[in-house]
Amino acid sequence: MAEKKKFLLRIDDNIHASLEKWAADELRSINGQIEYLLKDSLKKAGRLKSNTGENENNNNENNAPG
């Protein structure tokens, strides 16, 4: 797996609280929830490069006959 980049994110307290609740509801960390939301938005916008192993695996599963 590729190494993940680290960066500082400053957000409003209300946004953080909402993300914290949402993440808990979906059994994710706040970091995991933010990454999930960003990845989902990038996919929907057609801006996510498909050269990651995870994306290739998802594409292979969707194209499998059956």
In a domain, 1, yes or no: no
Report angle CA 42, 44, 48 to the nearest 5 degrees.
35
In a domain, 36, yes or no: yes
Number of domains in the chain: 1
pLDDT of residue 52: 54
In a domain, 4, yes or no: no
Give 24-41 as a DSSP string: HHTT--HHHHHHHHHHHH
Mean pLDDT of 25-41: 97
The better pLDDT of the pair 59, 8 is held by: 8
Q: Which domain holds residue 19?
A: 13-46
Which of 1-5, 12-16, 56-60 holds the top average pLDDT? 12-16
Chain mean pLDDT for the chain:
83
In a domain, 24, yes or no: yes
pLDDT of residue 54: 53
Decide: 45 and 55 in contact? Cβ < 8 Å: no
